[in-house]
Amino acid sequence: MDSMKRRDFIEFLGGASLSMALGTCLPGCASQGLSSQKILPLEVSSHDQLVTHKELDFYILNSYGDSLGSGKVFGFNCDYNCIIPLPGKTNEALLWTNHEFIDPFFVNLGQKNPFARSKDQVELEQKMVGGSICHIKNLAGQWTVLRDSRFNARIDGTTPIPFSGGAEVLGAKMAKGTLANCAGGRTPWNTVLTCEENYEDFYGEVSYEGKIRKVSKSKEFSWEEVDPQAPEHYGWVVEIDPLNNARAKKLLPLGRFAHESATCVRAKDGRVVVYMGDDKVNECFYKFISDGPNSLESGKLYVANIGKGRWEILDAHENPILKKHFSEQKQLLIETRKAAKLAGGTPLDRPEDVEVHPFTKDIYLSCTNNKTKDVFHGSIMRFQEDQSDFTSLTFKATTWKEGGLEEGFSCPDNLCFDPKGNLWMTCDISESLMNRSHWKSFGNNSLFVIPFSGPQRGEVIRVANGPVDSELTGPCFSEDGKTLFLSVQHPGSSSQKVGKLTSHWPKGNNAKPLPSVVAMKGPLLDNLMR
Ligand code: FEO
Ligand code: CA
Ligand code: CA
Residue 380 domain-assigned?
no
Same domain membership, residue 174 and residue 37: no
Whether ligand 1 lies within 6 angstroms of the CB of 362 is answered as: no
**Rg of the Cα atoms in the chain:** 22
Separation between Cα atoms, residue 87 and residue 82, nearest integer Å: 16
> How many domains are contained in the chain?
2
Structural domain boundaries enclosing 53:
15-60+410-494+522-530
Is 107 found in the same domain as 249? Answer: yes
Atom of ligand 1 nearest to the CA of 182: 1
120: Cβ contacts below 8 Å, ≥ 6 apart: none
Ligand 1 pocket residue status of 195, Cβ below 6 Å: no
Is 379 within a domain?
Answer: no
- Say yes or no: CB of residue 182 within 6 Å of ligand 1: yes
3-state secondary structure of 460: coil
Would you state the pLDDT for residue 351? 98
What stretches in the chain show pLDDT beneath 70? 1-36, 111-115
Q: How far is the CA of 488 from the centre of ligand 2 (A)?
A: 12
The neighbour count for residue 38, using CB atoms within 10 Å, is: 11
Amino acid at 193: L
Question: Which residues face 409 on adjacent strands?
Answer: 404
| Co-location of 194 and 171 in the same domain | yes
- Of the candidates 63, 81, 83, 61, the residue with the CA atom closest to the CA atom of residue 73: 63
- Pick from 225, 257, 289: which residue ends a domain? 257
**pLDDT for the residue numbered 36:** 55
Residue 441: Cβ-neighbour burial (10 angstroms; 0-12, 13-18, 19+):
exposed
Distance 196 CA to ligand 3 centre (A): 15
- Residue 435, domain member (yes or no): yes
Same domain? For 32 and 68 the reply is no
* Same-domain status, 147 and 245: yes
Is 45 found in the same domain as 110? no
Residue 390: what pLDDT? 98
Strands of 247-251's sheet, edge to edge?
A: 181-186, 192-196, 237-241, 247-251
Please give the pLDDT value at position 34: 43
Pick the last residue of a domain from 234, 257, 280. Answer: 257
- Which ligand is located closest to the Cα atom of residue 415? 3
Pick the last residue of a domain from 257, 285, 310.
257
Q: Give the pLDDT of residue 22.
A: 29
pLDDT of residue 114: 60
- Looking at the CA of residue 368, tell me the nearest atom of ligand 1: 2
**The predicted structure's pLDDT at residue 418:** 98
How far is residue 108's CA from residue 114's CA, in Å, rounded to a whole number? Answer: 10
Q: How far apart are CA 173 and CA 281, in angstroms?
A: 32
pLDDT tens digits, one per residue of 179-192:
999 999 999 999 99
What pLDDT does 29 receive? 35
pLDDT recorded at residue 498? 86
Q: Does 9 reside within a domain?
A: no
Same domain as 438, residue 414: yes
Ligand 2 mean position, distance from CA 413 (Å): 5
Atom 1 in ligand 1: residue holding the nearest Cα: 182
Shared domain check, 424 and 462: yes
pLDDT of residue 7: 35
Q: Is residue 252 part of a domain?
A: yes
How far from 190 is each of 85, 264, 435, CA to CA, in Å? 8, 11, 40
- Answer yes or no: do 110 and 153 share one domain: yes
Atom number, ligand 1, closest to the C-alpha of residue 79: 1
CA of 182 to the centre of ligand 2 (A): 6
Q: Does any domain span residue 284?
A: no
Going from the Cα of 464 to the center of ligand 3, the distance in angstroms, rounded, reads: 17
- The 10 Å Cβ neighbour count of residue 510 is 8
**Per-residue pLDDT tens over the stretch 222-242:** 999 999 999 999 999 999 999
Residue 354 resides in a domain = no
Q: How far apart are CA 434 and CA 274, in angstroms?
A: 32
Instruction: Tell me if 283 CB under 6 Å of ligand 1.
Output: no
279 Cβ closer than 6 Å to some ligand 1 atom = yes
pLDDT at 117: 83
DSSP-assigned states of every residue in 161-178 = EEBGGG--BTTBSEEE--
Centre of ligand 2 to C-alpha 414, Å, is 6
Residues 85 and 195 in one domain: yes
Residues 55 and 71 in one domain: no
Provide the total of helices (H) and of strands (E) in the chain, helices listed first.
Answer: 9, 33
The reply to whether 512 falls in a domain is no
Q: Which residues pair with 73 in a beta bridge?
A: 67
CA 197 to ligand 1 centroid distance, Å: 7
- Same domain, yes or no: 33 and 114: no
- For residue 353 and ligand 1, the question of a CB distance below 6 A is answered with no
